[in-house]
Amino acid sequence: MIATAEQLGCFSGSTELQYAAAEGSTRRQAPPLNLRTEDHVLKTSARKRLISNSRDLRRNFALAGWVIRKHLDYVASFEFQMQTPNKKFNAAVEKLMKRWSKPNCDVSGRFTLRKMLRLLESKAVLDGDAGFMKVAQFRNGKRFPKLQGIEGDRLMNPDKPKDPDRWEKGIKVDSAYRHQAYGIGRRTRNGRLELERVVTASRMVWHNGYVENFDQIRGISPLAPGLNTMRDTYEGFDYALARMKIAQLFAFKITRKMEQLEEEAGGYGLKTATDEDEETGESKKYEVDFGRGPAFLDLDPGDDAAFLESAQPSDQFQSFTMHAIQMSLKALDIPFSFYSEDFTNFFGSRGALMHYERSCSDRRETLQEILRQITIWLLQIWIIDGDLELPKGWTIGDLEFYWNSVGIPWWDPAKEIKGDLMAIKAGLDTPQRICKERGRGDFYENLEELKKAKDAAEDLGLELSFDAPGEAKPKPAKEGEDDADDDEE
């Protein structure tokens, strides 16, 4: 006989179909009922506290700073490559981009493009969003394109805008939530912000940070769910260290059997052999000063000396701290094996890396789109100012380029290179894609460099081989060898 749902106790009194998660229960805390947008949930004052919390942890907690740096290593490193059929034109554009990517790209003249991109992503992780403002400086009738970094907390609404309903924490949007303008503030000497200018969206390249809803305007730090855990871990380290230091203040104890004490003292409350004799002024029986170096204790029979030890920090605290760190790393999808290299074996680390690479693809696409907008802006200026000449019949729309994410080298070259060669031979992969994924540069440029190396070796009378190890080509048979073998058979 099959038991019914009522007999199994699946329903408490009512058999009405429902979502259990939508109903209240005395067994757990009721979830908050809040369906407002994230911009309304995180109000201006709360947003400031959240940003301040994340920045403070980065300053003072090594783990928080390491998490952000490791995230940037995998997300914010790119290489520029033109992909048009005209190699001469490609080389000209790449040369201009290489020269501009130096501190020439920064309006302050301090940071390279790579460093500015890392700062942009770092501010998006800490503050929720950040952006670049495009600045064209004029000298001698010529424009020099620059970028100015704008932190997310510098955005603010104008005092009395004409359409206040369109402004949300420093960004003006239309009915479709498209950005139209930005209110940018400047920091005063007392640390406050005052509105400096309102710029149109065409002048900004805004990294809209981390947005999880269609109707969300301002980004929110992905570290927000893990900030409290990080701070608890940070404070827990301090408390555990304090207890460990206090435990070191205890010296050692000397224990004696009760029968021996009674015999020497003649009863409780009387003078013992270890008390100072008021009549003779003799000192206590055992005096030890470890500050003078190693000490020798001449104990009486039955006496015992031992250090007072306190197992701090405890094993339970250390185990729980590791779990807290694991939860903190999940805020940015960073595997725990990155933090603790001995946590797993080679294959476990490799698998974690592959999963993490997949999680980085979305964030890389955001930065690649920012770089694409910047590149089009640069190409327009270079062409108009005469620094770059398009091939005949071409337009900017014909220009193909790509910002390739810097790949990861082989972990086990002997095995992985062999696997890549087998994949190419089987038609499952291409040399071009493998060069991109491994960060080995452009495949066609590699071929040209190899040709130069081979020609230089031949000029010097040297033999340069590019055959894979263990796959030496068989020597050609000499004339008559095959016939001789046939005769012997």
Q: Which residues are 401's β-sheet partners?
A: 82
Residue 290 has pLDDT above 80, yes or no: no
Does the residue 122 lie in any domain? yes
Average pLDDT over the chain, rounded to an integer: 83
Residue 489 has pLDDT above 60, yes or no: no
In this prediction, residue 270 carries a pLDDT of 43
Among 6-10, 206-210, 211-215, 251-255, top mean pLDDT goes to 211-215
Does the residue 464 lie in any domain? no
Residue 471 has pLDDT above 60, yes or no: no
More confident residue, 299 or 419: 419
Does the residue 163 lie in any domain? yes
- Cβ-Cβ contacts under 8 Å for 217 (sequence gap 6 or more): 37, 39, 168, 169, 171, 173, 177
Which pTM was predicted? 0.77
Does the residue 295 lie in any domain? no
Pairwise CA distance, residues 71 & 67, whole Å: 6
Pairwise CA distance, residues 72 & 116, whole Å: 12
Range of the domain at 195: 38-60+98-222
Confirm if 237 and 150 have CB atoms less than 8 A apart: no
The total domain count for the chain is 1
Does the residue 482 lie in any domain? no
Give the CA distances from residue 1 to residues 4, 7, 11, 264, in Å, rounded to whole numbers and listed in that order: 9, 12, 20, 82
Helix, coil or strand: residue 42? coil
Confirm if 120 and 132 have CB atoms less than 8 A apart: yes
Give the CA distances from residue 382 to residues 85, 98, 141, 375, in Å, rounded to whole numbers and listed in that order: 20, 14, 13, 10
Buried residues in 348-383 as b, exposed as e (16+ CB within 10 A)? ebeebbeebeeebeebbebbeebbeebbebbbebbe
More confident residue, 126 or 309: 126
- What digits encode the pLDDT tens for the residues 133-153? 999 988 887 889 999 999 999
CA atoms within 13 A on the CB side of 98: 8
Does the residue 245 lie in any domain? no
Report the range of poorest mean pLDDT among 227-231, 264-268, 432-436.
Answer: 264-268
- What digits encode the pLDDT tens for the residues 31-57? 788 888 899 999 999 999 999 999 999
Pairwise CA distance, residues 166 & 421, whole Å: 56
More confident residue, 16 or 386: 386
Give the CA distances from residue 89 to residues 311, 380, 388, 413, in Å, rounded to whole numbers and listed in that order: 69, 15, 9, 35
- What digits encode the pLDDT tens for the residues 455-464? 898 888 888 8
Does the residue 201 lie in any domain? yes
- What digits encode the pLDDT tens for the residues 46-90? 999 999 999 999 999 999 999 999 999 999 999 999 999 999 999
In this prediction, residue 291 carries a pLDDT of 64
Residue 351 has pLDDT above 60, yes or no: yes
Confirm if 286 and 276 have CB atoms less than 8 A apart: no
Residue 124: exposure state from Cβ atoms within 10 A (0-12, 13-18, ≥19): buried
In this prediction, residue 264 carries a pLDDT of 58
Residue 123 has pLDDT above 90, yes or no: yes
CA angle 90, 73, 80 (to 5 degrees): 5
What tokens were used for 22? 């939508």
Pairwise CA distance, residues 177 & 180, whole Å: 9
In this prediction, residue 443 carries a pLDDT of 84
In this prediction, residue 441 carries a pLDDT of 78
Pairwise CA distance, residues 263 & 274, whole Å: 13
Does the residue 415 lie in any domain? no
